Structure 1
Amino acid sequence: MSRVINFSAGPSSIPLEVLQTAQAEFLDYKGCGCSIIEISHRTPIFEEVLFSARDKVKSLYGFGDEYDVLFLQGGATLQFAQVPMNLYNGGVAQYVNTGVWTTKAIKDAKILGINYEVVASSEETKFDRIPKDIKFSDDADYLYICSNNTIYGTQYKEYPKCKCPLVVDSSSDLFAREIDISNIGLFYGGIQKNGGPAGVTLVVVRKDLLDRVGANVPSILRYKTQAEADSMSNTPNTFGIYMLNLTLDWVIKQGGLASINEKNEKKAHLLYSYIDGSNGFYKGHAQDDSRSLMNVSFNILSKELEMKFVKEASEAGMIGLKGHRHLGGIRASLYNAITYENVETLVDFMKEFARKNG
């Protein structure tokens, strides 16, 4: 079997071991005589899968009983509106703008007519950094950040400290490192980077915030509705949750989030070190102290060479390296399923490409 190396930003690589387990169980899940995708969510068989995934999320991150873990649909994008619908409490919501996804979240806050303010932004430098001096209010209804920015290749090394509830869009670094949860009010992300296939949005919400929701918010968009129904107020993405559960088993088998982070640091260091030492042939976008371990965005000397790079890399068995349309260039996403050897293969290709085209 010949498989390409998938550097796509998402949906992205799923560990081969996980895919093989799903393949083996696909027609007959644990001897029940049917596929997991055919099993009703209202059965003990599926509930065991859902509760297992929920418990693993809490255990890996250290979330206690004061939090509910929800598996929702609509993508992380729906959370841009669902967060203010549920957490805005008549005061002010504060946002840090670090790229396209926070820009969209801010836009939805404006559409909803809530009182919000952008307390820090790196837009003036084309989102090449995480703002350091964030002036926020401890009395804000919430402070909203995106922990990792797939397009621009930036990432918070530490979350902001605040007394108000911190809302974190962690779509592109879910299950990639340990985090400080001490001031987390809501933590969410689409799982399609490090948690399995597209279609499931993880939301971890502090229980005391569930009653903030206004009377005019539709029932299905209330976190409280889904929390009271164990994420099954409507039919959940059963197969996606099953795949998430398998992927979390794999994360645990790797040694948990600390071990995963150590591996990710080594992969990113290998690639960034080569980019920095390429005598300007390759140039990274993010400032050094804001560099993401998940998404490495960089440019080559010309757009023509970038197009050639993507084409030849694909022919060499490496896909998903074309940069996002907002930034262009090249982007290598080094999610959990990408191995150190995969990155070595990419760096070897980059060296040869620079030799031939420099």
Structure 2
Amino acid sequence: MERAYNFNAGPSALPLEVLKRAQEELVNFKQTGMSVMELSHRSKEYDAVHTQAQSMLKELLQIPNDYEVLFLQGGASLQFAQIPMNLLKEGKIGNYVLTGSWSEKALKEAKLIGETFIGASTKEKGYRSIPNVEEISINKNDAYLHVTSNNTIYGTQWHQFPEFENTSLIADMSSDILCRPIQVENFSMIYAGAQKNLGPSGVTVVIVKKQLIEDSRQDIPTILRYSTHADANSLYNTPPTFAIYMLAKVLEWVKDQGGVQTVEKRNIEKAKLIYDAIDESNGFYRGHAEKDSRSLMNITFNLPSDELNKKFLAEAKAAGFVGLNGHRSVGGCRASTYNAVPIEACEALREFMITFRNNQ
């Protein structure tokens, strides 16, 4: 069976080379006579995997030495609660920029824990854009400023991150980490569920300043403290070993591609193929995001009617395209072009879009 054109929003496409390598090692990892899923997380064989994943991430993202790299569980959804639990001390404010559903969910959790503030929002405009940095309001007692770097449902992405002196910037990068180079030192914390650009679901990467951990609250449950996981090298409880193994394999693949800079160039090329099909359709395809806020990872669009949306999706599915349905909350169509989606899939989708339009 041929590989599908996988445009799923998450869990999403994984590099074929990585899947084949994992297949080769699945039953007998490094001549242990066991799968990596069967190894003790205290064994030297697994320790090598764990360490490699951390070191590769540090290398690819050029993470400074004053940051911890943690492997946690619970996805970004747990981080929505864990961040304010650790950082939102009495008298401090959690400042949130709303750019879509996931930032709304993060704010909702923080409200249960402490004082919050909406520094900016594009909700009234249908989340079609990212706020200008100048539009963001901050407070002198903000514990942090939280942003969602890429919005999978609406297809928008930050192209310039805010920088405020004496303000800790925290970013949920679940859907675009490793899609382009970033300046990690401009953030106090970056977190990302793995299931888009890093590997399979099950592990959440948290890149956090050591000083932020030291300043965190300690009067919360032990397993929810960042300090617990930093002190235990993310081995306080049994980690998702297979997900971390796959993470290491994906990071190796990114390095083999030429690193994040090369991956970014390819992502720009892939996204342009589909955005051009939208822009050159004389309004037949209508992009949701404003052009200056468009995402490299999630391309959202509609056709002139719901009937045509349904027809497009049905014919696309029959042609071997998977995952083009828009999120259930907004409908329409969405092509998620994460790192592992090959350019050939995007070329095929572009041709399908042109052919479908010409046949109507």
The answer to whether the superposition gives a TM-score over 0.5 is yes
Q: 1:333 aligns with which of 309, 333, 336?
A: 336
Segments of 5+ residues of structure 1 without an aligned counterpart are none
Residue type at the aligned position of 2:255: I
User: CA separation in 1, counterparts of 2:249 and 2:343?
Assistant: 22
| Residue 160 of structure 1, CA deviation | 0.8
Superposition RMSD on alpha carbons, in Å?
1.0
Matched, 1:5 2:8: no
Q: Secondary structure at the match of 2:108?
A: helix
Q: 1:142 aligns with which of 141, 144, 152?
A: 144
Give the structure 2 partner of residue 225 of structure 1: 228
| Residue 174 of structure 1, CA deviation | 1.3
Matched, 1:23 2:4: no
Q: Secondary structure at the match of 1:265?
A: helix
| Pair 1:88–1:212, CA change in 2 (3 A) | farther
TM-score norm. by structure 2 comes to: 0.97
Q: Secondary structure at the match of 1:205?
A: strand
Aligned 8 A contact 2:288 2:301 in 1: yes
Give the structure 1 partner of residue 292 of structure 2: 289
User: CA separation in 2, counterparts of 1:73 and 1:331?
Assistant: 27
The percent of aligned pairs where both chains have the same amino acid is 48
| Residue 245 of structure 1, CA deviation | 0.2
Return 61-70 or 213-222, whichever deviates more.
Answer: 213-222
Give the structure 2 partner of residue 180 of structure 1: 183
Return 308-317 or 287-296, whichever deviates more.
Answer: 308-317
Offset from partner CA, 1:228-279 (integer Å, 9 cap, x none):
1111111000000000000000000011111111110111111111101101
Q: Secondary structure at the match of 2:142?
A: coil
Residue type at the aligned position of 1:135: S
Give the structure 2 partner of residue 189 of structure 1: 192
Query: How do 1:78-89 and structure 2 match up within 5 A?
Result: 78-89=78-89
User: CA separation in 2, counterparts of 1:166 and 1:247?
Assistant: 27
Query: How do 1:1-358 and structure 2 match up within 5 A?
Result: 1-90=1-90, 91-112=92-113, 114-132=114-132, 133-137=135-139, 139-163=141-165, 164-357=167-360
Aligned 8 A contact 2:95 2:146 in 1: yes
Q: Secondary structure at the match of 1:182?
A: helix
| Residue 139 of structure 1, CA deviation | 4.7
| Pair 1:252–1:138, CA change in 2 (3 A) | farther
Residue type at the aligned position of 2:150: N
Residue type at the aligned position of 1:303: D
| Residue 355 of structure 1, CA deviation | 1.4
TM-score norm. by structure 1 comes to: 0.97
Residue type at the aligned position of 2:137: K
User: CA separation in 1, counterparts of 2:139 and 2:344?
Assistant: 45
Offset from partner CA, 1:215-237 (integer Å, 9 cap, x none):
43100011100111111111000
| Residue 318 of structure 1, CA deviation | 0.7
| Residue 339 of structure 1, CA deviation | 1.7
Aligned 8 A contact 1:150 1:172 in 2: yes
Return 238-247 or 296-305, whichever deviates more.
Answer: 296-305
| Residue 182 of structure 1, CA deviation | 2.7
Segments of 5+ residues of structure 2 without an aligned counterpart are none
Q: Secondary structure at the match of 1:21?
A: helix
Aligned 8 A contact 1:89 1:212 in 2: no
Aligned 8 A contact 2:63 2:185 in 1: no
User: CA separation in 2, counterparts of 1:15 and 1:325?
Assistant: 27
Aligned 8 A contact 2:218 2:225 in 1: no
Q: Secondary structure at the match of 2:190?
A: strand
| Residue 138 of structure 1, CA deviation | 5.7
User: CA separation in 1, counterparts of 2:185 and 2:237?
Assistant: 31
Return 2-11 or 137-146, whichever deviates more.
Answer: 137-146
Aligned 8 A contact 1:162 1:183 in 2: no
Residue type at the aligned position of 1:38: E
User: CA separation in 2, counterparts of 1:307 and 1:319?
Assistant: 14
| Residue 196 of structure 1, CA deviation | 1.0
Aligned 8 A contact 1:88 1:212 in 2: no
